[in-house]
Each structure stands twice: as structure tokens, then as C-alpha cells.
Chain A
Amino acid sequence: MMNEYRNIEYRNAKFVSPDNLQIDCEINHPEYGWIPYLLDPSDTDMTIDNTELKAAMDQNGDVAAFNQQEHDDKIARLVRFQRDNLLQIEVDPIVSNALRWADLTTEQQNAWSAYRTALLDITDQAGFPHSVTWPTKP
């Protein structure tokens, strides 16, 4: 069992999830001093008493409001990162390999081309970034 730290000081707290459950802040850790910290109610680790920390924040009422634009930007970066990886992992080995590409039928080549285009255009979807439909790999 780890140490269980209580009465932790905090500063610069702000809600970072739309449901106002996760709180980003800095805590004055007994071993490490001021460090960034994500308070998450689903965290099962009890090294820091999150319940007590959250209660102090509730009492002080000093948690900054959730910033929707920051959240949207974060999700957009995540989707682009996923998209770029799918292009590298799944598409490039097929379309960038002349021998493998030549082995495909025209129908298969068209399917891969369509898949690649759909991935590139994922940021154009109406629901981007929060609700994107990922294309199906051929």
C-alpha cells in the first residue's frame, strides 16, 4: 500500500470534461512539490484523497469553468492523430507498394482509394470532431 496523502493544497483548478467530473489542477505534493494533477472521480488509486480534494474545491468554489473550445481542439487533434495513423498503418503499405498494388483488381484498388479519401476527408464530416464515422477498411 502506498502513502495516503491528505490535506493537499491545490491551485489553478479547472474543469476539463464536459460533464464537469474531471478537474485539471496543480497539487502541492509532499514529495514532489507543485505538480500537475488530473482529479478523476473514476480513479481508483487512493494515494491522493480525491474525495477530500474535490470537497475542498467545492467548498472554495474556485474551479474554472469548462472551456468548450479547448475541449473541441483536443478532440480534433485526437481524431487527426488516429486518422494519420490509420493512413500509415493500413493504407500506405498497400498503395505505396507497387508490387502489392499491381496484384489488386481494379475493384480492390478503387476500394482502397475510396478508403484513403474517406480518411483524408474525415475532418469534413458534419459531426467532426465529436461524432465522426470511420470508414471501413477494404
Chain B
Amino acid sequence: MAIKVNGTTVIDDSRNLINIASGAGATSTAGAVGAYAYCRDDSGSATTLGGSVSASSLYYLSNAYNGFYIDTSNTPSGTWRVMGYSSGNNRGTVLLRIS
């Protein structure tokens, strides 16, 4: 039996979640909408808490004890929300993919 909220099916007959608004933790798939990532923002302009940046300015990062490495073999797509602060030329900030 499907489950509906305000007339919209949110769980179908096969027990799949559908039509769920995007949000934090909505996916465990790396890089997908709803996923968090730790990235360098190279946009050149500051983005404050909650602002949005295009993935074209982002690089995935990994931490070293006194610096960072960039993952150049994987690149993000879409739109990401800054969940901290980005100076536009920062070493790393946490982002959430929203689109």
C-alpha cells in the first residue's frame, strides 16, 4: 500500500521513497544531491553560511596533518550550499549538494 502526504505518494507499493524533498542525509551516494562533501572553493568570491556555489569552482579535498591534498580524479557536479564559510580561495569547507 502506498503512503501519501497531502495527496503525494512518498512511499510506493514497492516500499521505495519517492518525492522526498532534498536535504541533508537524504542520500549516502557520494556527490549526489543530499550528500555532504569537504571541498576547496576556487570561485574567487566569498560565500557566507547558507550561500550557494556552482560545482565548477569546487575540488574534493583530503586532510593532511598540516595541509590538504586535492582529488583531481573526481569532480563534483551541480549546486552546493556552503555549510560553513568560504572565502572563495579557501583551503576547505563543508558543503551540501542541493541540486
Contact = CB atoms under 8 A, between A and B. Distances in A.
B1 interface: no
Interface string B34-73: 1000001010000000001111100100001111111010
B54 A24 contact: yes
Interface residues of A, number: 33
A87 B65 CA distance: 13
Interface in A26-44: 27, 29, 31-32, 35-40, 42-44
B42 A2 contact: no
Interface residues of B, number: 39
A7 to B, nearest CB: 15
A35 B78 CA distance: 10
Please name the 3 residue pairs, one residue from A and one from B, whose CB atoms are nearest each other, closest first.
Answer: A36-B54, A43-B77, A40-B77
Interface of B: 16-22, 26-27, 29, 31-34, 40, 42, 52-56, 59, 64-70, 72, 75-79, 89, 97-99
19 contacts: A1-B16, A2-B22, A22-B56, A29-B98, A31-B22, A32-B99, A36-B79, A37-B55, A37-B79, A40-B75, A40-B77, A45-B31, A47-B33, A47-B78, A77-B89, A81-B40, A85-B69, A89-B64, A89-B66
